[in-house]
């Protein structure tokens, strides 16, 4: 079937190119045999998502190039939507356009099982002082597929509960909440408390939660925290689909209750940007979002303006959070695998990772999050300890070769329920049926 690859490339390249967003032109890759990588000059082309973490990596990379004069790095930074297509076309081509790629959590199993990625076990075993086990366990596990390591953590995007701490500490609100509910106003640790707190704040003129029920990825990512808190999951330990069980039903009913009675009106299509705007403008009291949004919100010249410093990060209600992560990986068809690993090992080494996190990058290593220098120069001890707690008790958004499809299909059904197009039972039944059909495909 090798000919099919070429047929596909000839026939579908134009289609893929038309769908992909424009990006910087790819730099020429100097082909080198692995044995020559250390000696001969090599240019590594790296695909990146255009996010703040990329800026930090790009800035650190100058240091790498100074230390490794034979390896030149060029980045092809682009929006998220364009990345998967580009990685796929590069992986299907006889020679790779990218020598290093970053892989999002839902793509890891898919790309590894498709044979696109190079196993990194031997590289990791040979790397001196690399300490792979220093990466937080759940993060590390995302890069392991069928017992082999295909990815090394780049940054995490586990979810936490970000709150306006000043509202929770306000004596007036505390007294009113005590009077109404007979208990102190505290950052919620259960779904019941979260909904109650959300409704309470709405009754005080502040929306209880800036939610993200947007169809597909966003609602799946947010609601799955509710699902965990209700004791549910997508699949049970045996791999059976259980997204239509009683726990899921309870989680979705409570989620919709919160949306209808505590979230800003007409926010059924809200995603990350809208929720962030709502929090930073002081419109909402809480949101479930990426843990690293806290420093952004508390930045004196950041989006929250005068509210900067009033936000705090906590574990999500129920404790167990949805974990997302990007991993560094090496495409199997690159001609510069050794040089690629040299770069990955450098950028994820303890010393450089520490610099990355101090500069504002999302942490991945336990030692870095427990480092006093990081606490002092970064965002404080409490922040890193909370992030570590969140990461240690987190579970990936979805696993398996069809994670992307499951996330989107289930997310569509969940959004239908929030929008009132389907009732909770029908939406979950449809989500379960679609998930079973997706998993049953050969």
Partner 1 sequence: MLKPPLTFKHRLVLPLLLSLVLILGYPLAFSLWISLHDYQLTAIEQARWVGWAQYFTILAQNASFWNALGNTVRFVGIAVSLELVFGLLLALLLHRKATPFRHFFRAALLVPMFVTPIAVGLMFRFLLNSQLGVVPSVLRALGITIDWFSAQQALITLALIDVWQWTPFMLLLLLAGLESLPEEPFEAARVDGASPLQIFWHLTLPMLRPTILAAVVIRMLDAFKVYEYVYAITRGGPGESTETIQYHIYRVGFLYFRLGEASAMSYILIAVILMLVVLLFYALRRESLSQR
Q: Residue 155 Cβ, how far from partner 1 at the closest point, in Å?
A: 23
Q: Residue 423 Cβ, how far from partner 1 at the closest point, in Å?
A: 12
Q: Does 92 bind partner 1 (CB under 8 A)?
A: yes
Task: State the pairing for strand pair 152-156/148-149.
Answer: unpaired
Q: Which of residues 308-367 bind partner 1 (CB under 8 A)?
A: none
Q: Which of residues 272-311 bind partner 1 (CB under 8 A)?
A: 274, 277-278
Query: Measured between alpha carbons, how far is residue 227 from residues 103, 199, 260, 401 in Å?
Result: 25, 20, 18, 22
Q: Compute how many residues bind partner 1; rule: CB under 8 A.
A: 48
Q: Which of residues 225-254 bind partner 1 (CB under 8 A)?
A: none
In the bound state with partner 1, the residue whose beta carbon lies nearer, of 315 and 404, is 404
Q: Does 440 bind partner 1 (CB under 8 A)?
A: no
3-class DSSP state of 107 = helix
Residue 193 · residue 314 · CB < 8 Å: no
Q: Which residues contact 188 (CB under 8 A, 6 or more apart)?
A: 161, 194, 196, 197, 317
Q: Does 17 bind partner 1 (CB under 8 A)?
A: no
In the bound state with partner 1, the residue whose beta carbon lies nearer, of 331 and 378, is 331
Q: Does 415 bind partner 1 (CB under 8 A)?
A: yes
> How many C-beta atoms surround the C-beta of residue 125 within 10 A?
10
Bridge-partner residues for 235, per DSSP?
241
Q: Which of 75, 98, 111, 259 binds partner 1 (CB under 8 A)?
A: 111
370: closest CA among 346, 393, 354?
A: 354
Q: Does 260 bind partner 1 (CB under 8 A)?
A: no
3-class DSSP state of 167 = helix
70: closest CA among 100, 30, 108?
A: 30
Site string for partner 1, 211-230 (x = CB under 8 A): ---xxx--------------
DSSP code of residue 281:
T
Residue written as tokens 């490339």? 9
Of 2-10, 159-167, 172-180, 183-191, which segment contacts partner 1 by CB under 8 A?
Answer: 2-10
Q: Does 110 bind partner 1 (CB under 8 A)?
A: yes
281: closest CA among 203, 366, 206, 370?
A: 206
Footprint of partner 1 (CB under 8 A): 1, 4-5, 7-8, 10-12, 14-16, 19, 84-85, 88, 92, 110-111, 113-114, 116, 214-216, 264-269, 274, 277-278, 401-402, 404-405, 408, 412-413, 415-416, 418-422, 442
């Amino acid at each position: 079937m090798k000919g099919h690859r070429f047929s596909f490339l000839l026939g579908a390249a134009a289609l893929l190119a038309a769908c992909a967003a424009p990006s910087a032109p790819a730099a020429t890759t100097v082909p080198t045999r692995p044995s020559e990588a250390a000696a001969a000059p090599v240019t590594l082309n790296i695909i990146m998502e255009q996010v703040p973490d990329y800026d930090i990596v790009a800035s650190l990379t100058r240091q790498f190039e100074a230390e490794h004069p034979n390896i030149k790095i060029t980045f092809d930074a682009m929006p998220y939507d364009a990345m998967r297509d580009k990685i796929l076309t590069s992986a299907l081509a006889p020679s790779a356009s990218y020598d290093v790629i970053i892989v999002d959590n839902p793509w890891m199993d898919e790309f590894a099982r498709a044979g696109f990625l190079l196993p990194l076990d031997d590289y990791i075993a040979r790397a001196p002082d690399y300490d792979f086990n220093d990466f937080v366990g759940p993060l590390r596990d995302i890069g392991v597929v069928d017992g082999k390591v295909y990815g090394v953590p780049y940054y995490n995007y586990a979810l936490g509960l970000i709150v306006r701490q000043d509202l929770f500490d306000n004596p007036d609100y505390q007294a009113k909440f005590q009077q109404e509910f007979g208990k102190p106003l505290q950052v919620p640790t259960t779904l019941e408390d979260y909904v109650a707190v959300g409704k309470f704040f709405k009754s005080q003129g502040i929306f209880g939660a800036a939610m993200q029920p947007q169809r597909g990825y966003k609602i799946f990512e947010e609601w799955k925290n509710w699902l965990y808190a209700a004791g549910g999951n997508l699949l049970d330990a045996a791999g059976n689909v259980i997204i239509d069980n009683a726990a899921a039903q309870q989680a979705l009913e409570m989620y919709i209750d919160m949306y209808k009675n505590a979230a800003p009106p007409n926010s059924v299509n809200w995603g990350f940007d809208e929720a962030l705007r709502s929090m930073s403008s002081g419109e909402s009291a809480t949101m479930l979002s990426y843990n690293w949004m806290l420093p952004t919100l508390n930045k004196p010249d950041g989006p929250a303006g005068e509210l900067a410093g009033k936000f705090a990060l906590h574990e999500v209600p129920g404790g167990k959070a949805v974990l997302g992560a990007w991993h560094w990986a090496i495409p199997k068809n690159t001609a510069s695998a050794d040089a690629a690993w040299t770069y990955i090992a450098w950028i994820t080494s303890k010393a450089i990772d520490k610099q990355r996190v101090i500069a504002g990058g999302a942490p991945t290593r336990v030692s870095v999050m427990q480092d006093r220098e990081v606490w002092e120069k970064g965002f404080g001890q409490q922040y890193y300890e909370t992030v570590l707690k969140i990461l240690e008790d987190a579970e990936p958004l979805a696993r398996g070769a069809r994670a992307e499809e499951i996330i989107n299909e289930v997310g569509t059904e969940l959004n239908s329920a929030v929008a009132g197009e389907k009732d909770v039972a029908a939406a979950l039944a449809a989500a379960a049926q679609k998930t079973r059909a997706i998993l049953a495909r050969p």
